[in-house]
Amino acid sequence: MPLLKSWVASANDANHPFPLNNLPYGVFSVEGDDPRCGVAIGDMILDMQAAEEAGLVQLADAPLFDVPYWNDLMEEGPAVWAALRDRLTALLSEGAAEQDKVEPLLVPAADAELHMPFAVSEYTDFYAGKNHAFNVGTMFRGPENALPPNWLHIPIGYNGRASSVVVSGTDVRRPWGQLKGPNDDGPRWAPCARFDIELEMGAIVGTPSDGPITVQEADDNIFGYVLLNDWSARDIQAWEYQPLGPFQAKATANTISPWIVTKPALEPFRCDTPEREVELLDHLKDCGPMLYDIDLEVTLAPEGKAATTIARTNYKEMYYSAAQQLAHHTTSGCPMNAGDLLGSGTISGPVKESRGSLLELSWGGKEPLTLDSGEERSFIADGDTLTLKGAAKGDGYTIGFGDCTGTVLPALEDPYAR
């Protein structure tokens, strides 16, 4: 599919992340006004509440855009999702008959503050990137036992905290926790010293389900995707995760990009999951291309200094797709809700420069990274800003998500000191 031309001139730039082919959904405010739903087009944002009130968008009997989140639209289902995309395309295409009515409803993105684009119902994080799982397993168990016995059969995951999900630009506070090093007699109470990121994609469930669904049904139920940074306290995790897995180490924050990129925008970039080493059971088998060719990168900027790109990889490196993760999630009969968020797990490629976490990039701290500033990092320092970026390159256009950024603040003074 080539670039679709818009009367919003900036949307026709081949390198702009928000062309007419994209039309991502977010929530914005201007000059202290209440947050409201918006659609990004070039360097402008279409005010969806105003468009609905003006009668330019009519999708349901009741208003869908008088609230500061996209969940109400999600609950209307795929037919309404498609109708909205068709209507937005018609309104914003070059030569649109209603351009004069739409133009006053556009807000410069530079003047807008972005907010959480949807209300997160539940949050689940997976461990579904093989390169990452192999690297981490090798560090702790050696290459011969790197992958757990179940890893090639099911997408492993854990239930996280929806309350921990924040939008890009939100500062992240270094957590305290129980730490126990290999030479410690017992645990001690201290700020995390091995704070890390995980480069992930987040899939947003749009259509609820109340029982097991197939991989194809799961794919149909996904509303869209965001970038996701799963901030991880590695030293807290090392002490607490046995036998039940991550808990406080993963509860500090999960940062998402501010724009939901819908599945139709990503259709041209579908690709297959990697070749299977072990045949999956029927209910998890691939039923077509379910991954996406999306270039990803991570930058790290020390306080007051320029950013260094520390990793580049691609979403197609995942071993399990979001549809397989969602289908697996439902196998027990677990109900899924509109607004559920599924983290992909860390997306790492096969070479060092494509590893999606500092744990891997520094190989557990044994091989520190040298930044462009000359400083070294094994893990994140206070004041560092980490940014995730993602883009799919089409025929004369780019599909972007907006940056997924967070700055790490120093730990609070001991909250239990008296």
Q: What is the pLDDT of residues 379-388, one digit of tens each?
A: 999 999 999 9
Give the pLDDT confidence score for residue 182 in this predicted structure. 87
Determine phi and psi for 337, rounding to 5 degrees.
Answer: -115, 155
- Residue numbers of the chain with a pLDDT score lower than 50: none
Tell me the pTM.
0.97
Contact 258, 168 (CB under 8 A): yes
- For the chain, the C-alpha Rg in angstroms (whole number) is 22
Q: In the annotation, is 132 catalytic?
A: yes
* Share of residues in the chain with pLDDT > 70 (%): 100
Beta strand residue intervals within 165-221, DSSP E:
165-167, 172-173, 176-179, 188-191, 195-196, 199-205
pLDDT of the residue at 39: 99
The four Cα atoms 89, 338, 313, 113 give a dihedral, to 10 degrees, of 60
The pLDDT of residue 369 is 97
Output the pLDDT for position 32: 85
Centre a 10 Å sphere on the Cβ of residue 115 and count the other Cβ atoms it contains.
17
Model pLDDT for residues 76-131, shown as the tens digit of each residue: 999 999 999 999 999 999 999 999 999 999 999 999 999 999 999 999 999 999 99
- Angstrom distance (rounded) from CA 19 to CA 38: 15
The pLDDT score that the predictor gives to residue 360 is: 98
> Could you say which of 16, 132, 328, 329 is catalytic?
132
Q: From the CB of residue 282, how many other CB atoms can be counted at a distance below 10 Å?
A: 8
User: Residue with structure tokens 């109400």?
Assistant: 72
List Cα–Cα distances, 405 to 169, 227, 286, 325, in angstroms.
5, 10, 33, 25
Residue 52, φ and ψ in degrees, nearest 5: -70, -45
